[in-house]
Amino acid sequence: MSQTNAADAERLALAESWIAQDPDPETRAELAALVEGARAGDPAASAELADRFDTRLAFGTAGLRGEIAAGPNRMNRVLVAQAAAGLAAYLLERARPGETPSVVIGYDGRKNSAVFARDSAEVMAGAGVRAVLLPQLLPTPVLAFAVRHLEMSAGVMVTASHNPPNDNGYKVYLGGGDDGSQIVAPADAEIAAAILRVAGTTTVPELPRGDFETAPESVVDEYIRQTALVADAPAAQPRVVYTAMHGVGWETAARVLAAAGFDAPALVTTQISPDPAFPTVAFPNPEEPGAMDLSFARAREVDAELIIANDPDADRLAIAVPDAAAADGYRRLTGNEVGLLLGWQAARRAAAAASGDAGADGTLACSIVSSPGLEAVARAYDLDFEATLTGFKWISRATGLLFGFEEALGYLVNPQTVRDKDGISAAVAFLSLAAELKAAGRTIADHLDDFVERFGCFASSQISLRVTDLSRIGEIMARLRAAPPASVGGIRVERIEDLANGFGALPPSDVLRVLLEGGGRVMVRPSGTEPKLKVYIDAVGAEGTVAERRAAASAAVAALEAGMRELTA
């Protein structure tokens, strides 16, 4: 038998074994069809089996995320049961003598989310872990809140956030000393090893299942109460449009806005209810072109002063404001613009709350690929600043955190309540800012000008190079390391920092940081959740009028973007 035939035969045997333990009739049937096609000599079926069985969906600091289908390299009930059993084993190994570890499990409105959550609860309960399921589909921030509020050992959220419709995922939080933050190394590797041990020794039908608890509605009520406290009592009522992007945000957001004293917003009704098909958007991510078109249309109908959009699991926030120069009459603010305004708001509140001559105390934090403007805010208010690796698993761990953000529409405005990005609390905080400005006769656009006048213009741009062959990302990173550029877009490179082996207090990460003459910066890294190479570009305009600062920063960003497109082609 040839080596290829032997590999094909092994995959067919693995697929047959998978079918035998898969409790899902849909994925069993589609895998059986692939097996039949491969046995009949269909090369496409054989290639698909190779893609599904030659590797395994990696469990890392982002947990699991992938397309729903059969096989170890996809999201399905077999993989989820193995993940639940592995996480249970990890928690039991870490538990003190006589202690029963606990987990709270949440789920959003995606395909199979409720099924995956129930499987996880049953499997973990069967392993001897106290398992508590949230009472209904809910936003990710409610699960992150519940880990701390219920004092659980861990939390699991079944969601793929803003990924394509047929994706799902598995996000893990830890309580105790991790304070409800997402997992980081070495916990990710230890959990992954426990999952592999389960997968290699036990079939899914052999995993014992047990009874789980259902959390009381009071958990949700308390999240709503504490989140509403983020806002000051509104002195004005901005005209607002809200969209949930076919996700689970609206029911919770509506209760929070009402509790905080805000009028009900006008809704994008076609996007307000959970729908796993995401029928009105090509890609359910507010950052994607066209995703907010219906919001813009609704805003024009009601002459809205503010558009608030949550992503499908409501852990991210997008904001749009009127803009006469925009074709649609509105423009979405960048994640950096929203983050800088919320960071400034947090710094002002910290200063106002400071007593005597002690001054404000605490830390503003953002990921290394987010705007350096937050550091300027921290300096101005004599606050500490921390730049972390990408992801809220790192941002949430900043010492003395007051506020944290990442440019990908993630904001942490209430770290005493939730140790993760939270699109609902951030929406309330931003709406509170808009109300304060409206009461003073000003707008968000005016406030952006105020920021530039006080701190400088921090312009940014991003290149997302989506690939079908993941090896291309590695090739580009290797090329940039082997032949680092002396200039980018005609701007001289002052130095390049390779974070592969760690840098300062930062752990190792596959990131290149290019620092340029004039204060510009370029960051290059592979995406942690999608098949993309991401390039982040920042430049500063600090001299002249507001208009002159904007023009200088924009020109530098444009030159850097053109240069990086050439270097990554």
Q: Show which residues are catalytic.
A: 161
CB 423 within 8 A of CB 139: yes
The three state secondary structure string of 383-434 is CEEEEECCCHHHHCCCCCEEEEEECCCEEECCCCCCCCCCHHHHHHHHHHHH
Structure tokens at 522: 């370029």
Structure tokens at 402: 């007051």
Backbone angles phi, psi at 286, to 5 degrees: -55, -20
Pairing between β-strand 384-388 and β-strand 363-367 as defined by DSSP bridges: parallel
Looking at the DSSP assignment, which residues form a beta bridge with residue 64?
170
Q: Indicate the DSSP class of residue 506.
A: B
Structure tokens at 276: 């796993």
Give me the DSSP letters along 210-267. Answer: ---EE--THHHHHHHHHHHTTSPPPSS---EEEE-TTSSHHHHHHHHHHHTTPPPPEE
Q: How far apart are CA 56 and CA 91, in angstroms?
A: 22
Nearest by Cα to 141 from 264, 34, 226, 26: 226
**397 alpha-carbon distance from chain centroid:** 16
CB 385 within 8 A of CB 378: yes
Pairing between β-strand 181-182 and β-strand 266-267 as defined by DSSP bridges: unpaired
Query: What contacts 24+ positions apart, CB below 8 Å, involve 176-179?
Result: 179/148, 179/396, 179/419
Residue 62: Cβ within 10 Å count: 19
Structure tokens at 514: 């290019």
What is the distance between the terminal CA atoms of the chain, rounded to a whole angstrom? 42
- Cα-Cα-Cα-Cα torsion 262, 396, 151, 85, nearest 10 degrees, comes to 120
Which residue in this structure is represented by tokens 């002002």? Answer: 348
Q: How many residues does the chain have?
A: 569
